[in-house]
Chains A and B, each alone.
Chain A
């Protein structure tokens, strides 16, 4: 009886769905978090009777065939790349990206990681680093005497030095974009890594064609929409229940069959 295994694929799929939704809800307030969705596809079909098969010598055809499905599978869990809301924080080292692009961050092992979380701070050496202490690339160090920092929409980082009239340029923030940003691999800590599906990173100056601009004193919030997550959660839970109902029905039918032998 296929119904049992078909319904179990349905329950597994809905379980994955609930897990993805739970993760989204848990990250509702995570800076730069991108909501995920589970994408479902139907499983392969078994041809019992081919539609269009000939039913007589005169060429009449079978109007409908019998193709039995094997259930459902989770094809992918994809990320919604639409930007989150931007909220004011009044912290000078908080920067949000308005538009496309990622900050490039150097991991302790020397590899690059990418992030939209612009919640930066200064290290003891005056370097611009992430919350985990990873250096933002290209490296920017603030002079120890600086009293204030200004980051322009084009990513120019300028320091106010006491005694100097003009602002001193200390660095330039860069943005990185990918042909397919949904293909990036999430590493946790709001960081993403390049994959063969994301395509090669291309760096550019904020504000140039195809790149977003930088907004100082702002952070990008997560793009999770609580209302739609909760509705999806309800629908996933009901779908789970329906699949379990199929299993219990199939079970009752099999029990009836077993009783016949008595």
Chain B
């Protein structure tokens, strides 16, 4: 294959990756705490033989997907009215104890288990400053304060463990709205808790759909470039054959 075909191939692979990422954003448009991602492209330069009449080495630049950028801006806050739906306004994460160790999430949809412990839908415990949070039936209606203080009828029950990281974009996604990291978890003093609310995803449908159209059109353009190139080659072969 020559450079034209390889160049279009490099873009086509990157375009497929882009569409996968856009599809995942759109699929999670209603997932609480989901953060949208976009593909970061980079060019890979390669030396090539100078064309006829040109002097010195020339480069050809291929494209490749270098990484995914996570947009960690806050999602829209929606009212649900459920007492264990908590939204974090500002930077910060809830700490969740899983079988694999501590994980972090911004999906604030919690529920109680049979023991009255606050858990995620997967049954993992939400961590307070002093471990798991257990609500006694006599506590009545539970109130979560803006700073994460949990109070019931019988007084304070505990305080949410809210953490933040030096580089929140580098958290690794685990599925089930959980993140894992090797970074040191710091306190998140600026996190404000809103009870009865959920932070929706920060996916903007307009951006995703227009980005998708853009990727598809440039994919088409690349495909037609390749078509044109192969037509050119075919003509060249036919003409050269006719000369002989």
Contacts and interface: CB of A to CB of B under 8 A. Distances in A.
Interface of A: 1-4, 6-7, 9-10, 13-14, 17, 37, 39-45, 47, 49-52, 62-72, 75-76, 78, 80-82, 100, 177-180, 182-183, 196-200, 202, 209-210, 225, 228, 235-236, 238-239, 242-243, 245-246, 249-250, 252-253, 256-257, 259-260
B28 A199 contact: no
Contacts of B59: none
Contacts of A39: 32, 109, 121
Interface in B71-109: 79-83, 107, 109
B112 A249 contact: no
B114 A197 contact: yes
B34 interface: yes
A256 B219 contact: yes
A78 to B, nearest CB: 6
Contacts of B21: 68-69
Contacts of A245: 209, 212
A82 B81 contact: yes
A256 B116 contact: no
Contact of B68 (A1, A65, A75, A200): A65
B31 A253 contact: no
Interface residues of B, number: 65
Chain B contact surface mostly: mixed
B170 A63 contact: yes
A77 B41 CA distance: 39
A41 B32 CA distance: 7
A51 B168 CA distance: 12
Contacts of B220: 256
Interface stretch (B11-19, B48-56, B155-163, B187-195): B11-19
23 contacts: A3-B16, A40-B30, A41-B122, A41-B175, A44-B174, A47-B172, A51-B170, A64-B70, A67-B173, A68-B17, A68-B24, A69-B37, A71-B24, A82-B83, A198-B114, A199-B116, A236-B30, A242-B29, A243-B23, A245-B209, A246-B26, A260-B223, A260-B226
